Amino acid sequence: MFAFILRRLAQAVLVMITVALIAFMLFQFVGDPVVFLLGQDATPDQIRELRTALGLDQSFVVQFWRFLLNAAQGEFGLSLRQGAKVSRLIGERFPATLELAMVAAVLAVAVGVPMGVYAALRRGSFGSQLLMTVSLLGVSLPTFLIGILLILGFSVGLGWFPSFGRGETVSLGWWSTGLLTADGWHHLVLPSITLAIFQLTLIMRLVRAEMLEVLRTDYIKFARARGLSNRTIHFGHALKNTLVPVITITGLQLGSLIAFSIITETVFQWPGMGLLFIQAVTFADIPVMAAYLCLIALIFVVINLVVDLLYFLVDPRLRTGRSGGH
């Protein structure tokens, strides 16, 4: 286990260095940050002084090394659009994105897994066919269209939920959350459902397919021959073995929920990192784009490591030694 973790950590470091290099290249080939900071009317002396202060007169290797050191400390310079520290901007927006992604992930797993199990155990029934038909819509419809339809139905038509914003929040130190207020939950319902729909249907279809595959295996047939109850077979043996690939997909989808919440945050004007990234792309705010890229890569690396470790808890075969033919 310790050697496995060390290998994963070494791979994670290599991945982060590669992503940092890609992010650093944005500074090199997408405009001159000095011009963005000083404007077109800056004198040559002002430009030269600022380039020296920012270390832009150094070699590529030296600049990249400084970038790595600053990125490891969470520092990515100043936003070219807002003039504020990028770390502060990310820190203000990250709680909103994480809150939205976590609620969407819990909703997708809590609803998708039971629906997948039901569709597998009641294969061919009307309810199973209905779920599979609805899941096709969830997989096929784009996220922005789902969000717009929910706004039209539940905000404009029925007036049950607000169509934009995060609502009332509570500050816990530097962290802000809307999960402790009724208004925050009220604003969170539609964005979280919009973000969860695709993941929910994907998990449901995956659980159904894996469950059907497991139910055909020999050890399930042997369990039936021993006279075990259907409840024990379905939930004590089949579902447990079904969860191994589900954990992989769910873990990666959690990272994608955070990374690709851009569309949902734009539709609902949710004040998270996705909306900040869209604004950064619009104004070519390179430091914000680089920080977003590095942070998302770090989230994926951490989630992958956690998922790999969860394998050992779910599948006992991975905990057996490799000697003796295992």
As a whole number of angstroms, the distance between CA 38 and CA 65 comes to: 25
Distance CA 113, CA 287 (A): 40
Better-scored residue on pLDDT, 115 or 253: 115
Average pLDDT, the chain: 77
d(CA 72, CA 183): 36
Q: Which residues contact 278 (CB under 8 A, 6 or more apart)?
A: 262, 265, 266
In this predicted structure, what is the pLDDT of residue 322?
46
**3-class secondary-structure state, position 85:** strand
d(CA 127, CA 160): 28
Given a contact cutoff of 8 angstroms between Cβ atoms, the answer to whether 295 and 16 are in contact is no
Model confidence at 142, pLDDT cuts 50, 70, 90, reads confident
The arithmetic mean of pLDDT across residues 241-270, rounded, is 77
Read off the pLDDT of each residue in 21-35 and give the average, rounded to a whole number.
69
Q: What is the value of pTM for the model shown? A: 0.72
Q: Among residues of the chain, what percentage have pLDDT more than 90?
A: 0
Which run of H or E residues covers position 63? helix 60-72
Instruction: For residue 204, give every residue at least 6 positions away whose Cβ sits within 8 Å of its Cβ, in sequence order, or none.
Output: 111, 112, 113, 115, 116, 119, 131, 135
Please report where in the chains the tokens 């954990």 appear, as a residue: 247
- Supply the pLDDT for residue 57: 67
Distance CA 104, CA 256 (A): 11
Average pLDDT over every residue of 259-277: 82
pLDDT tens for each residue of 153-192: 888 888 888 888 887 888 887 788 888 888 888 888 889 8
Q: For the segment 5-15, what is each residue's pLDDT rounded down to a tens digit?
A: 777 778 878 88
Nearest to 128 by CA among 113, 116, 139, 136: 116
DSSP state of 173: T
Using CA atoms, how far residue 76 sits from 27, 49, 198, 294, 300, in Å, is 11, 20, 33, 10, 20
Distance CA 258, CA 273 (A): 9
Which of 140-149, 180-189, 298-307 has the least mean pLDDT? 298-307
How many other C-beta atoms are found inside a 10 Å radius of the C-beta of residue 297?
20
Start-to-end CA span in the chain (Å): 16
